[in-house]
Structure 1
Amino acid sequence: MKTQISTSLSTFLALGVFLLLSSCFDTDKKESKKETQIEEQKTVYASDVIPFFDQWKLILGDGSNAGIATDFENKDFFYTTNDSAGNWVVFKAPNGGDTHGTSNNTRTELAQTKKWFPKTANDKLTATLKVMNVSATGDARVAASHAVVVGQIHSADKHENEPLKIFYKKYPGQTKGSVFWHYEINTAGDDNSGRWDYSSAVWGNDFSVVGTDENTYPEEPKDGIALGEEFSYEIEVKDGIMSLTFISEGHETKTFTKNLIESEYTTKADIPEQTQKLFVPIGQDGVERKAAYTGEGCFFKLGAYNQTNGKSPETNKNWCSGAETHGGDIKKQYADGNYAEVWFKTGSISVSDAAVSNDGYFAKND
């Protein structure tokens, strides 16, 4: 009898210890699982992916200025995502909505908080990116249709013109699009209405290759870049010379240089044939001041500056696309492809000691 009681007591004690240990183990598992879920829910911010956001202010696709975008996201316009290549920063802008400053186009774009002067500059911007979407609609005769600007140099002074815009453009139904860059003249005199751009092809076509009518597209470029295909650019301005390098796996590396402090367009006779075809017929036939961008503060921009808008082509046959905007309804535009979306994987900026605050530009454009 004593043996049976002793055995039962031993069994009871062993069972109690087992249950206690099991409970502790289950508690540890639950705590571990809870910690894992919290870790998984932690937001990865753009500033975690590309840690240079103290150098920029962010403009969103609704026209608002988000300021310094450290530890910031906006699920409509600016957030992070990931794929097999790692984390990316997403910039998204609809065809129609509130715009920033005097532009007709929406943008989700970073603007450098310091400005530098081309003659004394030693400044550089690099980026690796892929364009994921351009507008599904737009007039094929309008050069800006189905395009997005992914990098810029902008002037903060006087006319506030743009010595550099880097474009990606792809027509609907085609696999490959074009990468090209623009130089905009810094117009002589006080009247800036005659300003114009000159476009240079990188891969594919330049800005001037357009459709023959509203819905007829030019031939797809054989050496173009597809949506989702990665490419990189490097912009360096040193002692007045802008140097550009474009790299993409499977494509020829392209380099260009442009003098930013001495113009080659100071007379009407200097206006290139491309400009005579695109801009002169709509009254943009100005000349550039001899010193070009000398003495003007310039700054870098990076993101998705959507070039497709809903304005009538009758207003301007180069820049007004007549695209679908659903009256500015963002959800409807995103649902049927009427937006620009660009993913950036890396970026770097070097700023010379001579750079100064760019607060004046933001004060004018907020």
Structure 2
Amino acid sequence: MKKSLFIVVLILSIVSCKNNSKSTSIEKIVSKKEAKYPSDIMPFMDEWKILLGDGTRKENLLKYKKEDFFYVENDGVDDWVVYKTPNSGITSKNSSNTRTELHQKQYWIPEVGGKLTGTLKVQHVSTTGDATKASSYSVVIGQIHSDEGHENEPLKIYYKKFPGHTKGSVFWNYEINTKGNNIGRFDYSTAVWGHNFSVVGDSANSYPKEPENGIALGEEFSYEVNVENGIMYLTFTSENHKTMQFTKSLVKSEFATRKDIPEQVLKTYANREKGGGIEREIAYAGELQYFKQGAYNQANFKSTKSEVYGGDISKQYANGSFAEVWFKKATLLSKTK
């Protein structure tokens, strides 16, 4: 009897060891899957540095990730690089907007140019804010930024969706490179799908009509920014939308006199000190530029009155005060003369 009992216990121990071995193997597989880094998905990460929404700065992005800000997710089909940032955090010295955003290391001038592409889906924009403020409920997903002069931005690509709407808008803004005092700078906005930057609510809690040809959260689309010989060429594509293309000179201004200021600008900046300037005739010619890509959250408390829960990031994430953008593919091309 004792011998039989010993044999049963021995068999159970062997089975248990095998099960534990299988469990350990499964855990190793899961750990290996979770260990993916953004640089595994997009090998061009060695050409960028990053600023995260909690103020973290990182120069070397190879095999780097940070939970809740910059990491990899799989949607059941593809791996995506996630850029996530709250409405309020620690940001750069010249901005009130938080970001988890790549910053190109190599600079270039418009006359030489460069090329940036991205295939993405916006998963979330802030659900808190003031609908009369143009930056509310929006995130910038790609930029060209100047590193000289006024350090203005010849390109900002936006996604914006009002609360309660199914579809949001994709548009791009051009900021003038102001002649003289930069207090008069303004953005001119062009719609891609949906509304442009100037379409806002009639009151803090009322929203304009939902765009019929807009882009929903989680809907994939792509952009291509190609600057060559001083000209910026933009292409936007989406499976269920018309391909949209635009051309804009970065070396010859369209806004060099008072009469050139568009009606859209006069309306958008009517109650602001900013927005009355003109641009230097050569725009951004000769100025060093660089690309940016990721989630540059525009819904800060200062300009949009969004709820930021005293700056507590976990509370912002739990209550909708954040932006989250997923990129599946992206490329960067640096050009030479």
Short-chain TM bin? over 0.9
Question: Secondary structure at 1:138's aligned position in 2?
Answer: coil
What's the offset of the Cα at 1:27? 6.8
Question: After the TM superposition, which residues 147-162 of structure 1 pair with which residues of structure 2 at under 5 Å, given as runs?
Answer: 147-162=138-153
1:102 to 91, 94, 98: 94
1:338 aligns with 2:321: yes
What's the offset of the Cα at 1:30? 5.5
The residue aligned with 1:55 is 47
1:300 to 291, 294, 298: 291
Query: Structure 1, residues 275-328: CA drift from partner, whole Å, max 9, x if none?
Result: 0111253122111111110110101000000000111xxxxxxxx100100010
The residue aligned with 1:69 is 61
Q: How many angstroms apart in 2 are the aligned matches of 1:310 and 1:87?
A: 33
Question: Secondary structure at 1:252's aligned position in 2?
Answer: strand
What's the offset of the Cα at 1:68? 2.1
The residue aligned with 1:315 is none
Question: Secondary structure at 2:264's aligned position in 1?
Answer: helix
1:119 aligns with 2:111: yes
The residue aligned with 2:200 is 210
The residue type paired with residue 207 of structure 2 is Y
Q: How many angstroms apart in 1 are the aligned matches of 2:165 and 2:203?
A: 17
Query: Structure 1, residues 319-351: CA drift from partner, whole Å, max 9, x if none?
Result: x10010001000110101110000111111111
Q: How many angstroms apart in 2 are the aligned matches of 1:244 and 1:36?
A: 46
Q: How many angstroms apart in 1 are the aligned matches of 2:278 and 2:242?
A: 33
Q: How many angstroms apart in 2 are the aligned matches of 1:146 and 1:93?
A: 13
What's the offset of the Cα at 1:80? 0.9
The residue aligned with 2:262 is 272
Contact kept, 8 Å, 1:149 with 1:307, in 2: the verdict is yes
Question: Secondary structure at 2:95's aligned position in 1?
Answer: coil
Query: Structure 1, residues 65-112: CA drift from partner, whole Å, max 9, x if none?
Result: 122211111112111111133111111111112111210110000000
Q: How many angstroms apart in 1 are the aligned matches of 2:269 and 2:133?
A: 12
Q: Percent same amino acid at aligned positions?
A: 54
Contact kept, 8 Å, 1:263 with 1:289, in 2: the verdict is yes
The residue type paired with residue 58 of structure 1 is I
Q: How many angstroms apart in 2 are the aligned matches of 1:301 and 1:69?
A: 15
1:326 to 294, 309, 313: 309
Q: How many angstroms apart in 2 are the aligned matches of 1:240 and 1:288?
A: 16
2:173 to 160, 179, 182: 182
1:195 aligns with 2:185: yes
Paired residues in the alignment total: 326
How well do the aligned residues superpose, as a CA RMSD in angstroms? Answer: 1.9
The residue type paired with residue 141 of structure 1 is T
What's the offset of the Cα at 1:270? 0.5
The residue aligned with 2:4 is none
Q: How many angstroms apart in 2 are the aligned matches of 1:104 and 1:129?
A: 25
What's the offset of the Cα at 1:29? 7.2
What's the offset of the Cα at 1:63? 2.3
Q: How many angstroms apart in 2 are the aligned matches of 1:34 and 1:352?
A: 49
Which segments of 5 or more consecutive residues in structure 2 lack a partner in the other structure? 1-6
Query: Structure 1, residues 248-267: CA drift from partner, whole Å, max 9, x if none?
Result: 11100000000000111111
Contact kept, 8 Å, 1:150 with 1:167, in 2: the verdict is yes
The residue aligned with 2:233 is 243
Q: How many angstroms apart in 1 are the aligned matches of 2:204 and 2:25?
A: 56
Q: How many angstroms apart in 1 are the aligned matches of 2:55 and 2:262?
A: 35
Q: Which has the larger radius of gyration?
A: 1
What's the offset of the Cα at 1:230? 0.5
The residue type paired with residue 48 of structure 1 is D
Q: How many angstroms apart in 2 are the aligned matches of 1:30 and 1:333?
A: 40
What's the offset of the Cα at 1:50? 1.1
Q: How many angstroms apart in 1 are the aligned matches of 2:280 and 2:134?
A: 26
Question: Secondary structure at 1:277's aligned position in 2?
Answer: helix
The residue aligned with 1:231 is 221
Q: 1:29 to 1:336 in 2, by over 3 A?
A: closer
The residue type paired with residue 309 of structure 1 is N
Q: How many angstroms apart in 2 are the aligned matches of 1:332 and 1:27?
A: 43
Which segments of 5 or more consecutive residues in structure 1 lack a partner in the other structure? 1-15, 312-319, 355-366
The residue aligned with 1:5 is none
The residue type paired with residue 313 of structure 2 is I
Question: Secondary structure at 1:62's aligned position in 2?
Answer: coil
1:287 to 278, 301, 306: 278
The residue aligned with 1:260 is 250
Q: How many angstroms apart in 1 are the aligned matches of 2:271 and 2:124?
A: 31
Q: How many angstroms apart in 1 are the aligned matches of 2:163 and 2:112?
A: 43
What's the offset of the Cα at 1:40? 1.8
Q: How many angstroms apart in 2 are the aligned matches of 1:135 and 1:58?
A: 22
Contact kept, 8 Å, 1:333 with 1:339, in 2: the verdict is yes
